[in-house]
Amino acid sequence: MKKLLKPNVPIAFVVIGCLLFSVTPTAHDFVSSEHHVFKKWRTDLIKKVHKDHWDIGYRYGDDCKVDNRPEAKDLEEAITKALQIWLQPLRDMKTKQPIINDFRYQRQADLRIDNRKHLDLGVSFYCDPKGRSGARISEDPNVPPHVVIDVGTDVNDQVFIFVLIHELGHAMGLGDTYTLRVANWTTKGGLEVTRGTQPAAVMAFHLYPRTKQYLSEDDKNGIIWLYKVEYEGLDPADCFFPNYEFEKTPEGCVPKYPLIFEIRQGHEGYALRVLEDDKNIDINAQDSIGFTALHYAVKGGHILVIEALLARDEFNVNLRDESGSTALHYAVLKGSPEVLALLLSHPDIWIRPRNKAGKSPITLARDLGNDALVDKLKNHPNQRLAVSGKKKLTTTWASLKRR
């Protein structure tokens, strides 16, 4: 949902961020082709986050009748809220200079270039939705970003807020982070209608409907990455975050473990989507601390993901993290009867693996005073199953479920 350096737009502008009408996205994840031109953008807001205040102009579209306009105060609050959402990850970094926290608003009758040169940001709100939402970022150092919001007049509507955050993400300097799937492109852990490894994000327009979150980890990583490139000399090809890797086609940084990336954030719906979408994804992948998708699903109590993983024949239910703990250790600590019942019904589950602290799931249950669980584990048919060596698989979870 963006247009990038299209020959039919004035040369001084990069027109991006068209949420509702463009179908020609090309960028991919937070290091996108757009970011490689961001240095041409003289006035994106990342370059101004250490100013003492921003002057923000906003106007009603010509279609806004007096009686269906949002209140000016409400619009100002909505803009401030969306900007603060983007600035919070930078505040959390504890940068040496303070992050902007003073926003001064001016109502404008017109935001044409000559009328907004004195501003840091211009925002136009239309009242009769026609899908014109978008963001214009200029190469002209005298022209500030201009964001257009065209999703109705209810500032309390979460979609309104979501679109405002998305478009202000462009004004900050971020690109769209998704690609649409076209013929002969295949996913490798991406979401529906994407290609490649595409995480859920507000800049991917894949977040709010399922999670009700404003920013995902990918969005936060994107704004932090942008800051580091702008102020700390980070190479734009350096992904910075350890669980990301650079991908050339399409160019960008992508999570190494897309399934883990989603479930770690509690995105159960997206994790299921990834599992369904990519039959070849490595469901036994382990991240930098040895956690598998199952470890995260158990810790988060994501029953549907646990069921989906256990149903796969190639799934290894007994992988250990860096502390030597299997998912069953965490299931015992969490104490959810439903999660425990699922794991304990898997034909390969180890009952007595010891972690590096020498604790087995049984000792953990005993430490917790959960005598019923201790009895259940001790009486489990697998409690004498060896915890090393090659497993002898005589039955699969899938076949078990069919009985």
Told to check if 123 binds Zn ion by CB under 5 A, we report no
Span 352-381, contacts to Zn ion by CB under 5 A: none
CB of 176 to Zn ion, least distance (A): 4
The residue ranges of DSSP E strands in 203-351, in sequence order, are: 244-247, 252-255
**Spatial distance between the Cα atoms of 8 and 214, rounded to a whole number of angstroms:** 33
CB of 27 to Zn ion, least distance (A): 9
Q: Which helix or strand (DSSP H or E) is residue 113 part of?
A: helix 113-116
CB of 131 to Zn ion, least distance (A): 12
**Spatial distance between the Cα atoms of 159 and 152, rounded to a whole number of angstroms:** 9
Per-residue mark of binding to Zn ion, 135-174 (x: CB under 5 A): ----------------------------------------
Of the candidate residues 29, 34, 76, 176, the single one contacting Zn ion (CB under 5 A): 176
Identity of the residue, 3 or 273, whose beta carbon is nearer to Zn ion in the bound complex: 3
**Spatial distance between the Cα atoms of 330 and 343, rounded to a whole number of angstroms:** 11
Told to check if 1 binds Zn ion by CB under 5 A, we report yes
**Spatial distance between the Cα atoms of 144 and 41, rounded to a whole number of angstroms:** 10
**Spatial distance between the Cα atoms of 126 and 180, rounded to a whole number of angstroms:** 27
**Spatial distance between the Cα atoms of 326 and 231, rounded to a whole number of angstroms:** 41
Told to check if 250 binds Zn ion by CB under 5 A, we report no
Per CB under 5 A, the segment of 10-18, 151-159, 272-280, 318-326 that binds Zn ion is 10-18
CB of 170 to Zn ion, least distance (A): 6
CB of 2 to Zn ion, least distance (A): 5
> Can you read off the two tokens belonging to residue 52?
């003492």
Backbone φ and ψ of 113, nearest 5°: -50, -50
CB of 162 to Zn ion, least distance (A): 11
Per CB under 5 A, the segment of 176-184, 224-232, 241-249, 380-388 that binds Zn ion is 176-184
Three-class SS string for 187-224? ECCCCCCCCECCCCCHHHCCCHHHHCCCCCHHHHHHHH
Of the candidate residues 3, 4, 15, 17, the single one contacting Zn ion (CB under 5 A): 17
N-term to C-term CA, the chain: 47
CB of 219 to Zn ion, least distance (A): 12
Identity of the residue, 133 or 187, whose beta carbon is nearer to Zn ion in the bound complex: 133
Which residues lie near Zn ion (CB under 5 A)?
1, 17, 176
